[in-house]
A and B are shown apart, each in its own frame.
Chain A
Amino acid sequence: MKALVIDDSRVMRKIVGGILVDAGFEVVEAADGQEALDQMTLNDDITLCCIDWNMPVMSGFEFVVEVRKHVQWRDVTLMMITTEGEQGQIVRALAAGAHEYVIKPFTPEVILDKLQFLGLVEMKETV
C-alpha cells in the first residue's frame, strides 16, 4: 500500500511518514496541495493521503475538494492531520470528503487507531 504525506514541514512529513512506514506503507511526500495532486497523477496506487491544512500554493482543504472531483480517486482515503481544531473546520473537512481528522499534536497510536478503524491496517486488540 502506498501513502502520500502532504505537509509543508519537512519534519512533520518525516514523523508522519515514519509512522506509516512502520505500519507497512510505502510513502511518497508532497510539500503542498498542488505538489500532492502531481504525485497523485504520477502514482495511481496511492490509497491514503495524510493532509496538513495550512500550506502555501494550495491548502489541504483545497486539495481534498480537488481530489473529490476526480472519479478515479474516489477510493482514496483522505485523513487531515492539522493544528486546526475548531469544530467548524472539522465539519468542513468531512463535508468536503475527508474521512478522518487528527488534531496536532498526536502520538503514533492516534494514527494507528485511525488506520485500523479505516480498515487500512489489520486490527490489533490491545492489552
Chain B
Amino acid sequence: MTLTDDAFDFVATLVRQRSAIQLERGKEYLVESRLAPLARTAGATDVDSYVRALRNDVTKHDLVVEALTTNETSWFRDANPFAVLHTTVVPELVGRGRRDFRIWSAACSSGQEPYSIAMTFSEHFPALRPQIIATDLSELMLDRGRAGEYTQLEINRGLPAPMLVKYFERTGATFQITPSIRNQVHFRHHNLLEPAPLGGPFDIVFLRNVLIYFDVETKRDVLRRVRMSMAPDGYLFLGAAETTIGVDETWERIQVGNTSIYRPREGKTR
C-alpha cells in the first residue's frame, strides 16, 4: 500500500518543524522505506497506519525525525576535503601560530567524519591535539559515535586498510576506534536551527551534505550561525553540491584543486 498524501504531509511537517529539512512531494518512497522498520517494530500493518497512530503519540515523534534525517556516511568521505585539510588548511593556520585547534563536525551522524578528522591530524600533525566537537540531531547516532564501534560493512566504506590496522581494534564482530582518537572527539546533541554549540570559536567547521536539505532562508540562517561560531580566519568545508554563493555573500570561496573551501570575509564574523 502506498502512503496517502495526508500521511506524507503529516510526516513532512513534523520533520520540517523539528529539523528544517524539506521533504518535497515525490519523496514518498523515502518516507516509506525509512519508516517501514519502525512500523514493523510497532506492530503496525503498514506505514500508513503507523503514521495515523503517530498523530496521537508524540513520544514516537523523535524516532520518526531520526529515521528521516539520518544519512549515509563513510570514512574520509570524498577524500579530497581531508587532503585539503592536511595540505592547505592546517599548515596555513599553524603558520599563523595556531596550536590548539577547535573543530566542529556538524551533522556528524555515527562519527565517521569527526574520527576521520582526528585520524588526519594524527597522521600528519601528531604534535597537535585537536578538540573536535561532533554534533548531530539524533541521540541514536551520537551514542553510536561515542561508542566508536563499527561493523565490518561500515569499516569497508572508505577506511584505508593501513588506518584500520593502526586506529582500530577488532572486538568480536565489530571494530572499535582506539581511545587516543576517540578521546579527541566530543559528541553533543545539536540542532542546526539553534545557536552553535559551545566549544568555539572554531578554526575549522565541517558542514557537509547538510545544506542541500534546507530551503534558501534556512541555509542563510544556518550559515550565519556557523559564521558567528568561527574564528575570523577559520575555514568552512561544505559538501560538493553545496556553496555559499547566491545564499550568503559574507563568505569568500577559495578553490584548492577540486575542492572549494570557505572563510568569513574580513570583518564578517558577526
Binding site for B on A (CB under 8 A): 85-87, 90-91, 93-94, 98-103, 105-107, 109-110, 113-114, 116-117, 123-127
B240 close to A101 (CB less than 8 A): no
In the complex, what residues of B have CB within 8 A of residue A127's CB? 209, 212, 239-241
B258 close to A123 (CB less than 8 A): yes
In the complex, what residues of B have CB within 8 A of residue A109's CB? 74, 157
Q: Known contacts A90-B165, A94-B162; is A123 also within 8 Å of B79 by CB?
A: yes
Would you list the 6 A-B pairs with minimal beta carbon distance, nearest first?
Answer: A125-B240, A101-B161, A125-B78, A113-B158, A110-B156, A127-B241
In the complex, what residues of A have CB within 8 A of residue B153's CB? 105-107
B240 close to A87 (CB less than 8 A): no
Output the least CB separation between A99 and chain B (Å).
8
A103 close to B155 (CB less than 8 A): yes
In the complex, what residues of B have CB within 8 A of residue A99's CB? 161
B156 close to A126 (CB less than 8 A): no
B156 close to A103 (CB less than 8 A): yes
- Docked Cα-Cα span, A113 to B152, in Å, equals 15
Output the least CB separation between B263 and chain A (Å).
20
Output the least CB separation between A113 and chain B (Å).
4
In the complex, what residues of B have CB within 8 A of residue A113's CB? 74, 157-158
* Chain B: number of interface residues, binned into ranges: 20 to 34
Output the least CB separation between A103 and chain B (Å).
5
* The residue from B156, B162, B165 contacting A87, defined by CB atoms under 8 A apart: B165
In the complex, what residues of A have CB within 8 A of residue B209's CB? 126-127
Output the least CB separation between B157 and chain A (Å).
6
A125 close to B239 (CB less than 8 A): yes
Output the least CB separation between A123 and chain B (Å).
6
Q: Known contacts A100-B160, A103-B155; is A91 also within 8 Å of B80 by CB?
A: no
A116 close to B241 (CB less than 8 A): no
Output the least CB separation between A51 and chain B (Å).
13
Nearest opposing residue in chain B for A100, CB measure: B161
In the complex, what residues of B have CB within 8 A of residue A116's CB? 79
Output the least CB separation between A107 and chain B (Å).
8
Output the least CB separation between B39 and chain A (Å).
26
In the complex, what residues of A have CB within 8 A of residue B146's CB? none
Q: Known contacts A86-B170, A127-B209, A127-B240; is A117 also within 8 Å of B157 by CB?
A: no
